[in-house]
Chains A and B, each alone.
Chain A
Amino acid sequence: MGEKLLEIKDLSVRYTTDGVIAHAVNHVNLELDKGEILGIVGETGAGKTTTALGILNLLPRYTAQTDGEILFNGVNVLRASEKEMQKIRGEHISMIFQDPMTSLNPVYTVGDQIGRVVKIHNKEKGKEFVEQRVDEILNLVGIPAERKVEYPFNFSGGMKQRIMIAIALACNPELLIADEPTTALDVTIQAQVISMMRSLQRELGTAVILITHDLGLVANFCDKVAVMYSGEIIESGAIEQIFDSTNPHHPYVVGLFGSIPKITRKTKRLTPIEGLMPNPASLPEGCKFHPRCPYCMDICKTEEPEAVIVNDHLIKCHRCVRKEEA
């Protein structure tokens, strides 16, 4: 496939608040090539956002401890100095956050906030370049340039998300991380935002990590998918393998698909997955999913499963490995 852009090797993140240690991310391995789109799927609290913040090294300084490496173009982001990171953020990697309503600074004009990111990374260029670039990117995201003198509260949720995207893509970053960009928006606006993102991605050739719990979105936007559960990647691979129900899947993934209504088939009742996400402060022994796993075996309760390649997509589950051998 293409040239390697991002490699996450055995990443673990722990938060300590009031003496309680929460294991948000446990031994995650991921790779992303240039121009490739990776979808990260999982319930809330599965460690998706923590991983994303790790890539930008924006984890809270005092309370977070990290192990493992995140290599971006060969540079280990976790150990990079603040100065180096400031060069990377905004220019090489940029991020769109979940809630557009609070992600824009209420007291500065929209044009000003977009202009900031351009000015930071193009110090030598003059004001006209910045203004011109701001108008250009605004048109790209479908907002009339005249409105750049207005304040965030003058815009609707959808428009604000477009501004966030404008800020993120203002300096043609190599990697764009979108943390549930459409969750806070209603469906019609979602479709517009996603189609715009797809066209921009194709046009600028940016690599994208799309974090969401919306499987439909992943299906028609991403090249490959990773499913996270309580801080671990329990299954990852190309879209075709994951959405091919004939392949063996991790019971959690099966459950996930089971809880999506299929328009084609008439199903009386969806089969939800019982129970709740385990508390990151007291993770269960062995496979983290075993308390909720219908096919739970004794080994699952004691031993943590290995991540095994099964017809070239990775699964982390004793049952799948055993079935393979059998």
Chain B
Amino acid sequence: MKSLQKLIVIILTVAMLIVCLAGTALAVEGEPEGLQEGTLIRVVTGDDYVTPVAFMSSSNNWLNFHIYDTLFTYVDGDWNNIRGALARDWAWAEDGMSIVLNLVENATFVSGRPVTADAVKRCFEYTAQYYPSYFDKIESIEATGDYELTITFNAPYADFTSKFAISFMSIVDPDALDEFGDNSLEGAVGSGPYYIADYVSGEKMVLKANTNYWDPEKYPHIETIEVLAINDDNTAMMSLITGDIDYYEPANLDQVDNLEMYDEVYVIDGPKSNYCVWLNGTSATCPALADQRVREAISHLINWDEVNLIVYGGDAETLTSPWHKGCTVDVDEGTIYYDPDKALALLEEAGVKPEDITLNTITAPSTVKFDTAVAGQLTTYGINVNINEYDIGGAMANGAQGNWDIWENGAAFTQAAPSFGFGTMIAQSGAMRTFMLDPEDPAAIKVQELYEQANQAITIDEMNEYYKQCTSEIVKAYAFIGGLFKPNWGAFTNRLQGTYIENGYRYAIFFDAYIAE
């Protein structure tokens, strides 16, 4: 009886495959033209979008991408490859001290008001309150025409177009902000492919398609997207398998293995992102870290291949600098390698016994496994590690306060905006400070210098060169002690086709998705 069943199953799957192939062949052309009426998908992105206004939180990337537009946007997440979005085209002045932007004329906010130059100008007045450093070099922003914007600088601003392509630089309807304020649901009015129809905190957010969206390339097919807040990974994973939800970001490799056992679901590889591990030179709880030799010793005690094997089954790559592998400012000084003997020798030289070192981490739910693996490496040599778990907001708050000794934070070092990354690494009062060395430390002084020079750079290439030197200084100072360039995944139910994972910000794009008939 058993073998008969197997036979039937095989025939069925083969038949299904043929149908699928035929289907996909069809589906590719079969991609629907406009909106598929009445379609609804339920997704779990893991974030609970508490403050939907774009510039209010730096972790709203998925939401910003779906309900707002930015002036510029990256091609395939590459920092240097910028193309226009709301800004159809732009012209730099020769001395690079001013720029004229021509906006697209058919973009309207969901509130019906057109996206005029004046609207963009007033929106940036709000954004400046939250990201002052992005506007330091801007002298003035004037609406010199209904759809023409002239921006003058008081210093060379080579990476202006890249910085204003970041998701929290999205354009929000200023009239809505004036009326409802920037901390409200009603204020979050964008011109993007979707808008927020309903929001129940901690339960779900409902997005509806914006039927008169201006950009044909991002025109939505699916009418309603329900973003659910299910914070139990296992419940979310099982709901995907039963089809109760349509999309879920698997938390780890093993969930991917689980999901791949079920044919109701398909898993796609997203772009890799980096987990960088930092040491806090100014730590109060572990003063030994002020000594560079101790930091270097710790960096040589971690066998990144072993961590890679444990957490990602070998799919990840070892990082030698905080940046994406192959990113313009990526460096490989060859200082990050596993050599326990040298490490122990260094510790002896520094007069510090491994048992005396106690490192406190701050970790978020998604990185607990990675931190435990790294901690495992250190505990085998006697260094004890305390893992303190917070949610993302809590981790950032503690990071800024500096009450950590070893911390995994790779969020800011995306391919898209090295300046964004350096902004957080160096800025003294940033909420995500990661580079923490004693200001008198020669490496810190050198890095500060290079950072200022980068800001004065006229062209992006010149800027990148300074950032590159900045990075190698940081790596040589062993503030950064290694990490993994880890894989990401997106899991979809079969009925959801045509989706991909956005490079750089690694989240699923749904306005391209459609429901397979």
Do A and B interact directly, with beta carbons closer than 8 Å?
A: no
